[in-house]
Chain A
């Protein structure tokens, strides 16, 4: 279990805090991810937990041990953890075996001989490096160094496992494979894991819980599904996945208990459980894959009988294999939409787009200069009500 309470950290010589009051709990055996753009404070938070940085205030508990509080600050080497670094940080002057054996030989509970050999062998087996014990660490490929680094982090069966962007130095193919393997290892060992990444796919696919960070605070926290389908703010909506953002103004109630919003693309009905006052400036977020794309000419069913039908013209269709990514011009705006790649639309073709009301998520647009703070407020204001949409 990891419990972080009101963590704050400002680096000397910098005005803005790197971490500005972060609290979260990672339950025993869970995989928890801090996701955010660079500079959002996620790595600093992780390094505070590792003891590599000293926070200005706040408490950190690992298991039932308080490692950071007003009164205590346990040094890194006395914390029961394993960490995987972005650069892998495998020691070039040791071979594979010695790298993995190191944590067993230096800690408070030192082990010897056969025990060390057994544990190292098990760890190397788990990451698929058996047989390479006597290789020098630098003779390994990038992917193998990464596995070595994981083996070293888990070999002494720590209470918590910390992963600092461990996949970002791998090439795309290998990264995809390691996502699966790393998750599998974590599940098998039941390790309480904190993962830091800027890659949304890693965050969504590997985690039990995801916390999205921005400017030193957590702006939304939830299961990967929650975060993806019910982003609580414009920032989360645009940071996770690709999103069309359409500005508009609330007109009044629409059909079937929706809210009607006038936008440059026409009026759109949006499903929401929050009571929006008419005249309120809003932003509508729609994911490209939720927009239906229909041919206008030659269509068997003529005019579409659905809410939120808008007309557009295909600017370009980008074939990606699984789908075609259309850029559609609608009244001077460009919307992104995705559809299957079997019968692609022509470039320049006039088409119709359907934006289902339950795919249109509303956010307030009256952000002051400090968008982060307002959007965080907006989140707490809307958080739960918006919860079930989508």
Chain B
């Protein structure tokens, strides 16, 4: 059982990484990396490190990452504090809305903000010009690094928020009460008690989200490239999918190794934080109900902040797409254009076979990836929690690795692997399923480890002392108990797979178009109304899934 799990992970995670490393040392300007007679070379690394453009890309990547993290953490901490520690009205509704925003695909959000804030005819820009009597273009240009930071920062908030909320909830409120009864005023409590105690959790959330932002691909693709801003993820994509000429897989691999190093650096630091923070483990007494800060006269400001955020994160993008989907030619909302609203684009999209194929492929992809990665996660999770094998350490490392692997790298390395392996899955939907399973096996393992750890070991021992063998115990005791966690995890992976543009775009063929690639292709062709229609369908599916995720609180355990 353990050997099977290790072998599967080695195949899914180790194989592609080896391919990537080998390819990065191959001379591939005019050849595929594994063709016979392709020479070994260091030239790819020379090209990467001695090219001044690389450093421009690196700076852009780091500024983009830093800015987006700053925006998302500022918002997430404010929202988490308001919901967990104050008397903000409608807290539960706000919580559900923020978490539901996980269902907003980044590619859709990017397209919507491009429609709202592009400098020539963005709807908000035109509104602002009218309001202040300005001339075009502008005043706001989304195709800039601040524009990217804004959209990416918003997109990162829901997960960041869940991580921060988990940190707040893990903190015994009596630690704050004890400071108050010691004579500390609220600002002193915040500075001397709350902040130091939250710090380890905030740092680990920061590192987690750093990986998410350096691997971010959709927003740099939709918004960055239009403004001639390249970050590492889009750089790799361009080398592997050039607009003209042959792909240079060797160079793309060398860039990938560089990106991998950047993504892993903070993770190593983070492991040291974890080691230090374990001493913060407190005696967990049952805590009395948490006191809430009275917002008093600040309440309207807090409500306004929360409302603006919710409008920005999905109400406005969704409305924008709806509006655009009803206009055959792109138009800014006005009395005249309302009159021209029509459902023509919906008819065209629904009649097209491309759309019907994409829907079928998307559902197949989501279900297959959800079940595959959760089954694998269940097996690995059980071995990690209950197993006694010495291979557990290896298993843990292998299951964690994909978490540090940016999507473009998984896409590229899986592509390289199946260029070499004589399996007939290249160009089918299944290569995307395999890549997505690799990507999400980390989350699946985290979720299942948590689920299994919640089942007291005594329950399994009780089954054993009742005469049940391993198989019986798993089937009759463990599986029924982890089923809710399993299904919830499968739903989450389903959702993430549908939203994922990176892997689908790097691995698709005309036969295996899914909704995310369809949206991108239509947008790339400037087919605005049909982009919007497909986008509306996609949002309907993903938002429904996000709302179905009842226990997304479990996402807190996502913090790997």
**Which residues of A are at the interface with B, using a C-beta cutoff of 8 A?**
11, 43, 47, 50-53, 75-79, 81-83, 85-93, 102-103, 106-108, 136, 138-139, 142, 145, 149, 152-153, 156, 162, 169
Contacts and interface: CB of A to CB of B under 8 A. Distances in A.
A190 B207 CA distance: 52
A50 B181 contact: yes
B279 A92 contact: yes
For the complex of A and B, the 6 pairs showing the least CB-CB separation, nearest first, are A87-B285, A107-B183, A103-B182, A89-B178, A83-B181, A76-B180
Contacts of B281: 92, 138
Interface of B: 172, 174-175, 177-186, 188, 192-193, 196-197, 279-289, 291
A145 B283 contact: yes
Contacts of B186: 77
A145 B174 CA distance: 14
A385 to B, nearest CB: 39
Given A47-B288, A142-B283, A169-B283, A83 B184 contact: no
Which of A85, A142, A153, A169 counts the most chain B CB atoms within 10 A?
A: A85
Contact of B179 (A47, A102, A156): A102
Nearest to A80: B183
A53 B173 CA distance: 13
Contacts of B184: 77, 102-103, 106-107
Given A93-B196, A106-B184, A43 B280 contact: no
B181 A81 contact: yes
9 contacts: A52-B181, A77-B182, A77-B184, A90-B178, A103-B184, A106-B188, A145-B283, A152-B178, A156-B182
B280 A102 contact: no
A86 B286 contact: yes
A103 B177 contact: no
A107 B182 contact: yes
B174 A87 contact: yes
Nearest to A86: B285
A93 B193 CA distance: 8
Nearest to A168: B285
B279 A136 contact: yes
A89 B285 CA distance: 8
Contacts of B288: 43, 47, 52
Contacts, number: 109
B175 A89 contact: yes
Nearest to A98: B192
Contacts of B283: 87-88, 90, 142, 145, 169
B291 A53 contact: yes
Contacts of A77: 180-186, 188
B184 to A, nearest CB: 4
Contacts of A153: 181
A135 B288 CA distance: 28
B236 to A, nearest CB: 41
A93 B280 contact: yes
Nearest to A106: B184
Given A77-B180, A91-B179, 18 more contacts: A53-B291, A75-B180, A78-B183, A83-B181, A85-B177, A86-B285, A87-B172, A88-B283, A89-B172, A89-B285, A90-B282, A92-B197, A102-B192, A103-B182, A106-B188, A138-B280, A153-B181, A169-B283
Contacts of A103: 182-184
A91 B175 contact: yes
A268 B193 CA distance: 63
A52 B185 contact: no
A366 B296 CA distance: 49
B180 A52 contact: yes
Nearest to A110: B183
A89 B174 contact: yes
A82 B181 contact: yes
Nearest to B195: A93
A373 B286 CA distance: 30
A43 B283 CA distance: 20
A160 to B, nearest CB: 11
B291 A87 contact: no
A156 B182 CA distance: 8
A102 B180 CA distance: 11
Contacts of B285: 85-89, 169
B183 A162 contact: no
B284 A87 contact: yes
Nearest to B177: A52
Contacts of B178: 83, 85, 89-91, 149, 152
B287 A102 contact: no
A156 B282 CA distance: 24
